[in-house]
Amino acid sequence: MLKEFKDFIMTGNVIDFAVAVIMAGALGAVIKGFVDNIAMPFIGYFAGGMDFANLHIVMGDKQYESMAAAKEAGAAVIAYGAWINTIISLIIIGFVMFLIVKAYNKTKKPVEDAPAGPTDIDLLTEIRDALKK
């Protein structure tokens, strides 16, 4: 059983998948940093100085100065600004992955079609001619 597991782990597909998962995690962290630190402040500036990360709704009647204060007090908070940041991250990650796959597909050699064999009619013609002899 240990040998089977070793064979399974050492196949190319599993190793390729592991590398892809690690790279995706690193790419996700880079994109999150880009969205949180560059894209959203830029968008917020043109949206009248709005900070999307602090957009929230407090469940209940009590109001708080900030989302951090509400969370510290233990209030139920709907942090829809953070959700907006996550959606923008998803769109950017999807676009980057599209570009990576598109570039990868360009590097692959085109698959050449196998040489066409004789058609059914050609085979039947050969059989007929062989039978005539």
pLDDT at position 85: 83
CATH of domain 2-111: 1.10.1200.120
pLDDT averaged over the chain? 83
Least confident window among 11-15, 64-68, 125-129? 11-15
Query: What predicted TM-score, i.e. pTM, was given to this entire model?
Result: 0.59
Burial of 31 (0-12, 13-18, 19+ CB in 10 A): buried
* Percent of the chain with pLDDT strictly greater than 70: 98
Q: What is the pLDDT of residues 45-77, one digit of tens each?
A: 888 877 777 788 888 888 888 788 888 888 888
Domain ranges of the chain: 2-111
Query: Any bridge partners for residue 57, and if so which?
Result: 78
Tell whether the model's pLDDT for residue 24 goes beyond 70: yes
